[in-house]
Structure 1
Amino acid sequence: MTANIYLMGASEAPLLVDSGMPNENQKLLRYLGDKRPAALVLTHHHLDHVGGARLLWERLRLPIYAHPLDIPYICGEKRRPPFPPIPWLGDYIANSPRPVPKEALIPVEEGAEVLGWRVVHLPGHTPGQIGLLREGTLLAADALRVGPRGPWLPPAMVNHDTAEARRTVGKIARLGPETIFVGHGPPTTLEAVRALAARLGL
């Protein structure tokens, strides 16, 4: 998948986190196989994370959780910022996912629980980006990217508010998870995130 998606928890009714690009629906269905997720969490509204949400709602009527600040983009009430920032084309690409009906979306905010995972608000990349925290493991979505040299902040061109995204790195460091899974790249460690936070002056 273009962005990492995760099946978390019990194999018979796992929690699905994110749903890939709009053109990856068949790949998503092959990935799920005969597994029927108990619910879907959308970490944020970008197309590479919500592209399969409408399909899953239509086929499985899954409960879909998202932050209230991102729900207007997911259900089509607001248009996403153009990506790439090219007139017309960028708007078309960014808004290519089929909207999820608003009634299918369950708003969750900081501190809520979804199937045993605590919701953590990780704003900056989008206004309502969320992560999931449990027992030393954090799913941090696109609050961080991870490459061969460790974690780094997503570039400004893909962030709603880069100053806030920087503060979110500090928040992750203070949360103290042992292992951090991200939307792009392999897992990283608390030590590496704390080093990034120090480089950012947080």
Structure 2
Amino acid sequence: MNGSNSVRAAEGVIRVPLSIVNAYLIGPPGAGDRGWVLVDAGLSFSRGAIVAAAAAAFGPDARPAAIVLTHGHFDHVGSLEALAEMWDAPVFAHPLELPYLTGRADYPPPDPSVGGGAMALLSPLYSRRGVDLGTRVRPLPERGAVPHLPGWRWLHTPGHSPGHVALFRDADRTLVAGDAFVTTKQESFFGAVFKPQAIHGPPAYFTTDWDAARASVRALAELDPEVAATGHGVPMHGGELRSQLNRLARDFDRLAVPAGGRYVGHPARADAGGVTYTPPAVFPPAAVLLALGAGVAVGALTAGSSE
């Protein structure tokens, strides 16, 4: 049983659509209290929709055993602090993502010059600030084990962020890809809101290492997934998924890498303490003013909490 807006993506994987982004509930039907895991936490106003979906799937008082993050960008951690406190749940992320989850670092600036579309132009308005979860956040275990999810493993898939991870269940080849690739053109306002289904590279405006992003997509394509549940867009399945993902992996430079931009050819660098190098901006000031002037469009994205 799902919440009114949640959808089964695969066996034991429920997609919770949250305006421009997705969260996922992973656990067997009727898992009950502490028998399931939340993956990502949407926007700042997503708490109610996530709680409602969890209650419908696992019971009104069911809390997750853990919250696992694919990465810590603002649209994946917006309700994280509130949910982790309410559910008294530990949060797990890759060690290279921890600086942005413990208040020690902020992400590099977005690049509004890449990708085209309103979502890219508006990216200077999006928060890149880290959150501070204190001792509640922990590194994912070594060797790929996912806490409280037997049969799943995590893979380091950097590029979109330094510590980005994807989750994979070998038994049925179900992939929770985060933003390593997505199934809509997230740089476009139309794509972000209406989600026409097609595989695209990671959201370009926040991707800070295109060489790493290329390697991550190719590694995920090699898994030959049957299902891909992504951070943005509608899950894809079967032969069409594999055909499009293999094409993206093969032609990544042509299909995903921008012709130019702040991080194209000059990636940001980061270590366990946070960002160590950010290349200079290349975006024309006039276009930045245009993006700020278009800020009214943000209201359309933040007025509601779900699709």
Q: Is the 8 A contact 2:158 2:212 kept in 1?
A: yes
Q: Distance in 2 between matches of 1:60 and 1:39?
A: 9
Q: Is the 8 A contact 1:138 1:179 kept in 2?
A: yes
Greater relative contact order structure (CA < 8 Å, 6+ sep): 2
Query: Alpha-carbon deviation of 1:166?
Result: 1.3
Matching of residues 3-22 of structure 1 within 5 Å: 3-10=21-28, 11-12=31-32, 13-22=35-44
1:113 to 124, 127, 146: 146
Deviation track 1:39-73 (CA, whole Å, cap 9, x = no partner) reads 11011010111112211221121121100001110
Q: Distance in 1 between matches of 2:99 and 2:197?
A: 35
Identity of paired residues, percent? Answer: 37
Q: Counterpart of 2:218 in 1: which secondary structure?
A: helix
Q: Does residue 49 of the first structure (1) align with residue 56 of the second (2)?
A: no
Deviation track 1:120-144 (CA, whole Å, cap 9, x = no partner) reads 1111000100111112101010011
Q: Counterpart of 2:183 in 1: which secondary structure?
A: strand
Q: Is the 8 A contact 1:80 1:91 kept in 2?
A: no
* Unpaired runs of at least 5, structure 1: none
Query: Alpha-carbon deviation of 1:27?
Result: 3.0
Q: Counterpart of 1:70 in 2: which secondary structure?
A: helix
Q: Counterpart of 1:5 in 2: which secondary structure?
A: strand
Q: Does residue 69 of the first structure (1) align with residue 121 of the second (2)?
A: no
Matching of residues 1-202 of structure 1 within 5 Å: 1=18, 2-10=20-28, 11-12=31-32, 13-33=35-55, 34=60, 35-83=62-110, 90=124, 93-95=127-129, 98-101=131-134, 103-108=135-140, 109=142, 111-114=144-147, 115-116=149-150, 117-134=152-169, 135=171, 136-147=173-184, 148=196, 150-188=198-236, 189-200=241-252
Q: Is the 8 A contact 1:73 1:80 kept in 2?
A: yes
Q: Counterpart of 2:45 in 1: which secondary structure?
A: helix
Q: Counterpart of 1:143 in 2: which secondary structure?
A: coil
Query: Alpha-carbon deviation of 1:155?
Result: 4.3
Q: Counterpart of 2:155 in 1: which secondary structure?
A: strand
Q: Distance in 2 between matches of 1:37 and 1:26?
A: 15
Question: Which runs of 4 or more aligned residues in structure 1 lie more than 4 Å from their structure 2 counterparts after TM superposition?
Answer: none
Q: Counterpart of 1:120 in 2: which secondary structure?
A: strand
Q: Distance in 2 between matches of 1:53 and 1:83?
A: 21
Amino acid at match of 2:128: A
Deviation track 1:151-182 (CA, whole Å, cap 9, x = no partner) reads 11124321021221111111111122221110
Query: Alpha-carbon deviation of 1:91?
Result: 7.4
Q: Counterpart of 2:51 in 1: which secondary structure?
A: helix
Q: In the superposition, relative to structure 1, how do residues 149 and 49 fare at CA in structure 2: closer, same or farther (>3 Å)?
A: closer
User: What is the aligned residue count?
Assistant: 198
Query: Alpha-carbon deviation of 1:14?
Result: 1.4
Amino acid at match of 2:216: T
Deviation track 1:1-47 (CA, whole Å, cap 9, x = no partner) reads 13111111123221110011123223333333323212110110101
Q: Is the 8 A contact 1:110 1:121 kept in 2?
A: no
Q: Counterpart of 1:150 in 2: which secondary structure?
A: coil
Q: Please identify the structure whose Cα radius of gyration is greater.
A: 2
